[in-house]
Homo-oligomer: A and B are copies of this chain.
Amino acid sequence: MFRIAIDAMGADSGIFPIVQGIKQAFDKEDFFAYIIGNSVQIEKFLGDFSREHIEVIHCDDYIRMDEQASSAARRKDSSIFIAMEMLRNKQVDALVSAGHSGATMSLATLRLGRISGVNRPAICTIMPTIADTPSVVLDAGANTDCKPIYLHDFALMGYEYAKNVLGYAEPRVGLLANGEEDTKGNELTKETFNILKKYPFFNGNVEGNDIFNGSVEVIVCDGYTGNIVLKTSEGVADSVVSLLKNQIKKSFIGMLGAILLRNVFKSLKKKMDYAEYGGAPLLGVNGNVIISHGKSNARAIENAIYQAINTIKADMPNKLTQVFASNKNN
């Protein structure tokens, strides 16, 4: 049975959605949950839920969202430190946290270590597309300043994740640029293009809209750009919904139309909802780490647990270790 450490602390809406998400995940999957954090609150939210596959591990400290990520290394009694040590000591097979993502990243790199050959770990975010299959964007924010070789590593890791965890037969990898032509891009992506062109999976430059139209499965960029792409997408989606709502409220006919379109809007919302895609795996470290959005609701935590299980099943760290070892020899 897979064992998952779940950091219950530091998320925007507190402990409740974390515990609720864990409970929901037990409906579909069989696993053992170590829930780390304030045990009084965790126990309260667990209520009379079966403890057969749950162990609550109490701690007093956690990294607040406004604290420096670097302080995490010294906070040995914090929830994320305890969870990371369990992963490091192989007491668990994966870790899920919706707390301070910078702290999770820096502890993962420091305590688990990078996979040999990987220059920088990357956050791999799953994005909805108009095709039936999501795409992945990496790096989504771990490394604001990148060298071409980092982006090369992201391409390899994204390809393996799309293939082994998402199950795509032949994922295509695109390099995010300001135009599709080979000559487009900034200095960073132009150099990266030259490194990546030897790989059969490399589909050349792609543009911002290609993230959503299913033309490639993996989109590679630096973490500054990746974060901005994510926030921009959320912003546009939120704006469209908010404009729709405002317009609909203006007339009776509008409200009637909206009632008839209730199911359409529901399915659209589900498609665009980050919560349906769980969290973002941190690829390139020696362990399965899933970073969830700070504002995660129960559904997002539930999906992050499924994602953790899929990542364990795919044996991602070992697979990446092999890929980077054989790549080095080529």
**Contact surface of A with B, Cβ cutoff 8 Å:** 128-130, 141, 144-145, 176-179, 185-187, 189, 207-213, 221-225, 227-240, 242-244, 247-248, 251, 253-254, 256-261, 263-264, 267-268, 271-272
Sample 5 A-B pairs with CB under 8 A, ordered by A number.
A207-B231, A208-B228, A208-B230, A209-B238, A240-B272
Contacts of A247 in B (CB 8 A): 263-264, 267-268
Q: Hey, which chain B residues are within 8 Å of A144, CB to CB?
A: 178, 185-187
Asked whether A268 and B242 contact (CB < 8 A) given A176-B228, A237-B236, the answer is: no
Chain B's closest residue to A271 (CB) is B243
Whole-angstrom CA separation of A227 from B128 in the bound complex:
21
Please indicate the chain B residues that have their CB under 8 angstroms from the CB of A128 in the complex: 239
- A231 CA to B213 CA in the complex, in Å? 12
A68 to nearest B CB, angstroms? Answer: 9
Residue of B nearest to A259 (CB): B257
Measured between C-beta atoms, what is the minimum distance from A235 to chain B in Å? 3
**Chain copies in the assembled complex:** 2
A229 touches B208 (CB 8 A): yes
CA distance A242 to B271 in the complex (A): 12
The complex places the Cα of A244 from the Cα of B243 at a distance, in Å, of 15
User: Closest CB of chain B to A24's CB: distance in Å?
Assistant: 26
Residues of chain B contacted by A237 (CB below 8 angstroms) = 236, 240
Name 19 extra pairs, CB < 8 A, besides A178-B228, A209-B232, A257-B257.
Answer: A144-B185, A145-B186, A145-B187, A178-B223, A178-B231, A179-B227, A186-B224, A189-B224, A211-B232, A212-B236, A213-B235, A228-B228, A232-B232, A240-B268, A243-B271, A244-B264, A247-B267, A257-B264, A261-B261
- CB-defined contacts of A187 to chain B, threshold 8 Å: 144-145
Closest to A250 in B: B264
Instruction: Return chain B residues, CB-CB under 8 Å to A234.
Output: 208-209
Q: Bound state CA distance, A235 and B243, in angstroms?
A: 17
A98 CB to nearest chain B CB (Å): 17
CB pair B244–A254 under 8 Å, yes or no, is no
Q: CB distance B243 to A130 under 8 Å?
A: yes
What's the nearest-Cβ distance from chain B to residue A214, in Å? Answer: 10
Interface contact B254-A257, CB-CB below 8 Å: no
6 shortest A-B CB distances, which residue pairs? Answer: A209-B235, A257-B260, A208-B231, A208-B232, A178-B227, A257-B261
* Distance A256 CA – B264 CA, assembled complex (angstroms): 12
A68's nearest neighbour on chain B, judged by CB, is B183
- A258 to B258: give the CA distance in the assembly, Å: 8
Closest residue of B by beta carbon distance from A244: B268
Q: What B residues does A223 contact at CB under 8 A? A: 178
Nearest residue, chain B, Cβ from A223: B178
| Contact yes or no, B227 A229, CB < 8 A | no
CB of A259, distance to nearest CB on chain B (Å): 7
